[in-house]
């Protein structure tokens, strides 16, 4: 995450990616259950959606810590990932409400508290932060695959 990856830009990217993967999953479900032509769309769309869903949720938590969102706004951001396509209006709301910012606060401010210290470390070391993020998404995806799909 280099300097041009502002909170606004990153959140916009993951919110839109989450919505796109919802569309892929819903298309796959249509092909599987309505036209009964293939399950491939659900397999591929479901996996992609799961990975991007986790990335969106982790990014939401990152923004919650860095931009000092209230717990209520964190909950809204996380809940926005559940219904199809709601991450986009939430991202627009967050930008209009100045919840995203043009800079990462913890890159320059001293962290305080248990959550801000590791978040500041990740943001101040972009390569390591990106690696930790990728590993977190992969690890949580692995856990989700072991647990199984939602009922």
- Residue 59, domain member (yes or no): yes
- Residue 13, domain member (yes or no): yes
- Residue 34, domain member (yes or no): yes
- Residue 38, domain member (yes or no): yes
pLDDT tens, residue order, the chain (151 aa): 455 889 999 999 999 999 999 999 999 999 999 999 999 999 999 999 999 999 999 999 999 999 999 999 999 999 999 999 999 999 999 999 999 999 999 999 999 999 999 999 999 999 999 999 999 999 999 999 999 876 6
Q: What distance in Å separates the CA atoms of residue 77 and residue 98, rounded to the nearest whole number?
A: 14
- Residue 2, domain member (yes or no): no
pTM above 0.85, yes or no: yes
Q: Which residues contact 128 (CB under 8 A, 6 or more apart)?
A: 121, 122
The domain containing residue 52 runs over which residues?
7-147
- Residue 1, domain member (yes or no): no
pLDDT of residue 4: 80
3-state secondary structure 20-34: HHHHHHHHHHHHHHH
- Residue 89, domain member (yes or no): yes
pLDDT of residue 147: 92
Q: Report the first-to-last Cα separation within the chain, whole angstroms.
A: 35
**Number of structural domains the chain divides into:** 1
Tell me if residue 37 falls in helix, strand or coil.
Answer: coil
């Amino acid at each position: 995450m280099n300097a041009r990856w502002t909170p606004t830009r990153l959140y916009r990217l993951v919110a839109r990616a989450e919505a796109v993967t919802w569309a892929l999953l819903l298309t796959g479900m249509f092909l599987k259950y309505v036209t009964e032509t293939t399950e491939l769309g659900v397999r591929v769309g479901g996996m992609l959606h799961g990975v991007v869903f986790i990335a969106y949720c982790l990014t939401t938590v990152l923004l919650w810590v860095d931009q000092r969102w209230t717990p209520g706004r964190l909950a809204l951001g996380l809940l926005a990932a559940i219904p199809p396509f709601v991450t986009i209006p939430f991202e627009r709301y967050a930008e209009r409400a100045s919840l995203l910012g043009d800079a990462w606060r913890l890159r320059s401010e001293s962290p305080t508290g248990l959550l801000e210290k590791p978040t500041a470390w990740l943001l101040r070391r972009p390569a390591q932060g990106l690696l930790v993020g990728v590993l977190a998404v992969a690890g949580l995806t692995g856990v989700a695959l072991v647990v199984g799909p939602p009922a």
